[in-house]
Amino acid sequence: MVGALLQAARCQREQGHAYVRLDIGQAQQYLDAARAVFVAAEYPIEIALCDYFSAYAQVEHNDYPEALGAAQAARSRFVALGLPFFVAWSDLEIGFIRLRLNDYAAAVTHLTRARAQLLACGAVSDASACEINLGVAQNEESL
């Protein structure tokens, strides 16, 4: 029974991710419902993924302060779990959010850290997203 409940929650998490660009309210409902199951089951990686996708959903709808909190929560969990690729993904997201919040120095810090870790993990295309955003942040910071 527990296995089926957890699998259903994983499906809800994926539904939430899929709905991000279609209906933020529906996306967040799916993510919140899945997160509640994972909290009750004490599955920290699944909680972190829900937080990460929640941050992504908020970014897609320009709610950067809310997105920042969710991305930082996800990053903290990924650090605690020792998952460097997901920490880097979170740093990329936080860097992008900081860029949108005009906090260029923090954006550069997160994007630089993300780029280095993503390259170390062999995620070249994700690292290139860091480079693009780093260029924007450094340009804005110099103005």
Q: What whole-number distance in Å separates Cα of residue 75 and Cα of residue 62?
A: 20
- The rounded percent of the chain whose pLDDT value lies above 70 is 99
H helix runs in the chain, sequence order: 2-19, 24-41, 44-60, 64-81, 84-100, 104-120, 124-142
Q: What is the pLDDT of residue 24?
A: 86
Q: What whole-number distance in Å separates Cα of residue 118 and Cα of residue 98?
A: 19
Task: Give me the residue spans of the domains in the chain.
Answer: 1-82, 84-143
Q: How far is CA 102 from the centre of its chain?
A: 19
Q: What is the pLDDT of residue 40?
A: 95
Q: How far is CA 16 from the centre of its chain?
A: 13
What would the mean pLDDT of 64-87 be, rounded to a whole number?
A: 97
Beta-carbon neighbour count of residue 44 at 10 Å? 14
Nearest to 136 by CA among 106, 110, 103, 99: 99
Torsion of CA 115, 116, 119, 120, to 10 degrees: -150
Q: What whole-number distance in Å separates Cα of residue 126 and Cα of residue 130?
A: 7
**CATH entry, 1-82, from 1.10.3470, 1.10.260, 1.25.40, 3.40.50:** 1.25.40
Per-residue model confidence as pLDDT tens digits over 76-134: 999 999 999 999 999 999 999 999 999 999 999 999 999 999 999 999 999 999 999 99
